[in-house]
Structure 1
Amino acid sequence: MNKQNKTEMILKGNIYNVLITLSIPIIINSLIQTLYNLVDGVWVSKISSVHFAATAFVWPVNFLFVSLGIGLSIAGTSILSQLIGGDRIEDTREYSTQLIAITILSSIVFTALGYLISPTIIRLMGGTGDLGLYGNIYLRVTFLDLPFMFLFFNITSIMNAQGNTLAPTILSAISAIINVVLDPIFIFTFGWGIAGAAWATLVARAVLALAGVIMLFTESNKIRPDFRGFRFNKSIVKEIITVALPSSIGQSGASLGFIVLNGFIGSYGTATIAAYAMVNRITSLVMQPAMGMGSALTAIVGQNIGANQIDRAREAFHKALKLTILIGTIGCVLLIAFDEPIINFFMQSKDDISVIELSLTYLFYISLSMPLMGIFSVLQGIFQGSGNTKYSMAMEIGRLWFVRLPMILIFKHLTNWGPTGIWFSMSFSNLIVCLYGYWVYRGNKWQKKVIKTDDECQSEGAFGVIE
């Protein structure tokens, strides 16, 4: 199916068909990205549970830096899809050029900063002994792959905005295979240990980014950046940042929350950290279909808002909601029914049996909120697709800072629930934030466009450059 037919399908086709057609490649792509972490986790867990806990301990720090790239990617999908829906193809090329330039510059800055301050961050988080040592080794290498990760985020957003969700998936599959092959070689054959897992991921992502760049400049891609005579365009940069900043703040605010959360979890011991990390990786795998549906909704809503088809954007939201609730319910049943074999498969090291016991308890609680996590993804999809990312930001930050963390503090100091207080708080916070998100949706403010019309661009000098 060519790009024009994809756009016509998004704007006029059966909504269920559109959602499924666009989301399946995104789901596969997300599963592949999740496999990066799962494969690393399985191999690292063969060394020891402390090594595995170290990868989980530093994950929020890495994600804090990655959040900027995610915000730019969300902005790219939102803005470009609205331009496509409004049949402004020439403008999409200028916007994509500016987007990539911002991304590359920011990723280099964040790589250098993260690498330098990594030991300090881990020390401030309370990472000591082997946990701090292994965490610092792993984190420093992961910072080096930020430019490759950011760039591919951009490429994926450019393709997704057009409805081309298949090409990034094929490239991700190739990259995942490279990662799977390199992991045991780097970790055990070369004897690099936990650093080997990070280096394997870096090499795989570098190959992925290179292949993505080649794909970006092929004749079949109608949104081809053009860097000849490049200068930063003040108005476009402002529009991109306006959409990207709330998403980045939301993601980074959530990351900071997870850093604080890791501190609470760490206070219960290394076994609790390992259990938390393992179950999160399992549930993230199960939740990929619902998350893919939310990502597909971003492009669908963006193009239809660009084409002034608000009712169709609403219809897409309601149908995506039904599908994700169904997916979440099925996932909940499967995780509870097969909890023991699932945990035993993913936790290869049995050096601490309490990790298994804690994982089973956490898996039960978080499984109950699977449908809610699907609803959360769909709400994020409609807010991000419309470009009104301040609402998705409020959901990200509110879930952790205003519900989850206060509840964990209450359970920690006023009850004897132990780690169970954390597990319950995580599930209950999903309910509260979904109620908030639906209330915002009913208010209709998300319908406002975030890009200027052609007339507005001309009258306001929207394409003036930064000298």
Structure 2
Amino acid sequence: MADTVSKHIDMTTGSLWRNIPLFAFPVAATSILEQLSNLIATVIIGNFSGDQGTLAMAAVGSNVPLTSLMLNLFIGMSLGSNVVIANAIGRNDQNMVKRAVHTSILMALVGFVVIALGEVFAEPMLAALNVPAETMPLASLYLRVFLLSMPSILLYNFEAAIFRSVGITRMPLQALAVSTVLNIGLDLIFVPVLHWGVAGVAIATAIAYTVSAATLFIRLLKTDSVVRVTPRDLAIDPVALKRIVKIGLPAGIQSAVFAVANIIIQSAINSLGTEVMAASSAAMSLEYVCYNLLNSFSQACTTFVGQNHGARQIDRCTKTLKVCLVEGGIVALTTIIVIVG
């Protein structure tokens, strides 16, 4: 699709003060939309689960740090794809772009390994979080069903990273916006109407992410950009995989550290009972919104530096870091004022 190319952000030329926010804010909006969907799901499960409303909210909330740990780890891995592809684009190395793109798509298959491990260790992991006995059955059910969405979630994030590497940030946001509306609609059917409870919320999430991942995959098949996907070329390239893991694994671990801290905190919160767990679940959604807003500038910095480093524009790499620090600081200060005020 020709319009895909025309709307990309040029990272190697033009004003960084203008282009970085143009990149960062759609990325932030995408993450915030994900959290908004989770928050609305929490509200629905709390208000339409009858006498088990508080218990259901607690069950969903007790899983947030655990699911965030897994998601942050693999979203960090997708950042590795972003950097490798962006750097190859900057070098005009179309062969490496092609190999890295197709390798990234297949890396989403790791999600099936996560499903297998999660189904086996769901209850031990929740027990390690001190989930109360009365919450455990619902919490375990939610986690087991939610894990079925992992391949789609990983595929969506790798696809989004591919698009962002070439400066296209609106398309992942648009795909997620459609799936978010679908997710909320399905929540309102599965919970109040069909009375599927926490399983309904998890099923809705799996369906919505499958739709968003499929939407981006179709776009990648049709785009005129250098990141176009050709089904017959789908294969794991060892060199591309090594570069993606070398950059993405440390980034994933770094992101996971934030979730590990929340796991420790959640473990303490869980020991205080169901009502406190439910309240923490609602507050944590706001916390993740703020985090993702600030994190979008680090993603912008990584991508811009990747392309400019590949193009051997080292001075522009340094300027990118400075601009991201200043603009990220302004956003951080504004967020603090809004939340505290």
Is the pair's TM-score, using the shorter chain for normalization, greater than 0.5?
Answer: yes
> 1:148, 1:206 within 8 Å by CA — same for their partners in 2?
yes
Q: Are 1:326 and 2:325 matched, yes or no?
A: no
Q: Which shows bigger deviation, 160-169 or 51-60?
A: 51-60
Picking from 130, 133, 138, the partner of 1:129 is 133
Match of 2:19 in 1: 18
Match of 2:74 in 1: 69
Q: Give secondary structure in 1 for the equivalent of 2:134.
A: helix
Amino acid at match of 1:143: L
Give 1:71 deviation, angstroms.
2.7
Q: 1:298 to 1:111 in 2, by over 3 A?
A: same
Amino acid at match of 2:284: N
Q: 1:289 to 1:62 in 2, by over 3 A?
A: closer
What is the TM-score of this pair, normalised by structure 1? 0.67
Structure 2: where are the runs of 5+ without partners? none
Q: Give secondary structure in 2 for the equivalent of 1:232.
A: coil
> 1:80, 1:95 within 8 Å by CA — same for their partners in 2?
yes
Give 1:68 deviation, angstroms.
4.1
Q: Which shows bigger deviation, 59-68 or 12-21?
A: 59-68
Q: How many Å separate the matches in 2 of 1:329 and 1:300?
A: 23
Q: How many Å separate the matches in 2 of 1:54 and 1:37?
A: 13
Give 1:184 deviation, angstroms.
1.5
Q: Are 1:117 and 2:121 matched, yes or no?
A: yes
Q: Which shows bigger deviation, 119-128 or 153-162?
A: 119-128
Give 1:300 deviation, angstroms.
1.0
- Choose between structure 1 and 2 for higher RCO, CA contacts under 8 A separated by at least 6 residues: 2
> 2:102, 2:236 within 8 Å by CA — same for their partners in 1?
no
Match of 1:272 in 2: 276
Match of 1:175 in 2: 179
Picking from 2, 5, 26, the partner of 1:3 is 5
Give 1:267 deviation, angstroms.
2.8
Picking from 229, 245, 248, the partner of 1:244 is 248
Structure 1: where are the runs of 5+ without partners? 338-467
Q: How many Å separate the matches in 2 of 1:309 and 1:51?
A: 53
Q: How does 1:295-374 map to 2 (within 5 A)?
A: 295-337=299-341
> 1:71, 1:244 within 8 Å by CA — same for their partners in 2?
yes
Cα-to-partner distance string for 1:115-173 (whole Å, 9 max, x where unaligned): 22212222333223222121111111110000000001110000000000011111111
Match of 2:96 in 1: 91
Q: How many Å separate the matches in 2 of 1:254 and 1:286?
A: 13
Picking from 183, 188, 206, the partner of 1:184 is 188
Match of 1:210 in 2: 214
Match of 1:402 in 2: none
Q: How many Å separate the matches in 2 of 1:234 and 1:319?
A: 35
Give 1:254 deviation, angstroms.
4.0
Cα-to-partner distance string for 1:404-454 (whole Å, 9 max, x where unaligned): xxxxxxxxxxxxxxxxxxxxxxxxxxxxxxxxxxxxxxxxxxxxxxxxxxx
Q: Give secondary structure in 2 for the equivalent of 1:190.
A: coil
> CA RMSD for the aligned pairs?
2.2
Q: 1:282 to 1:156 in 2, by over 3 A?
A: same
Give 1:113 deviation, angstroms.
1.4
Q: How many Å separate the matches in 2 of 1:243 and 1:73?
A: 9
Which structure: larger Rg? 1
Identity of aligned residues (%): 24
Picking from 74, 78, 85, the partner of 1:80 is 85
Q: Give secondary structure in 1 for the equivalent of 2:11.
A: helix
> 1:187, 1:193 within 8 Å by CA — same for their partners in 2?
yes
